Structure 1
Amino acid sequence: MADRLKGQLPRGFVVLKAGIDASADGYEDQLRAQLVQMVRDQVRAVASFKR
């Protein structure tokens, strides 16, 4: 997706298993943090997600 500073940033899409409610009990925030960290660990900060 477009970014004023870097030109472009990666965008990721996640499909959860059937029956998983990401909005329940703060799971969405926890999942988001885990995904951001996973990308930083594997791809490094150059192509990491902001959100």
Structure 2
Amino acid sequence: MDFQPKQELVYGKIKLINDKVQNKETEIQSLKEGVKFETLEKMKLMKN
């Protein structure tokens, strides 16, 4: 029996999921940076 095609399909799906996760992690990182920046700006404004 040959499992090759099915295995490649599974690897394809795993890669797709990994890419989506990677994108979400990047998105979350960007949001965190944005929040950090906004917080710093607000702190600067409060000090003045």
Q: TM-score range by the shorter chain?
A: 0.3 to 0.5
Whichever of the two has the greater Rg, that structure is 2
Q: Which has the higher helix share?
A: 2
TM-score, structure 1 length as denominator? 0.37
Q: Which has the higher strand share?
A: 1
TM-score, structure 2 length as denominator? 0.39
Q: Which has the higher contact order (CA 8 A, sep 6+)?
A: 1
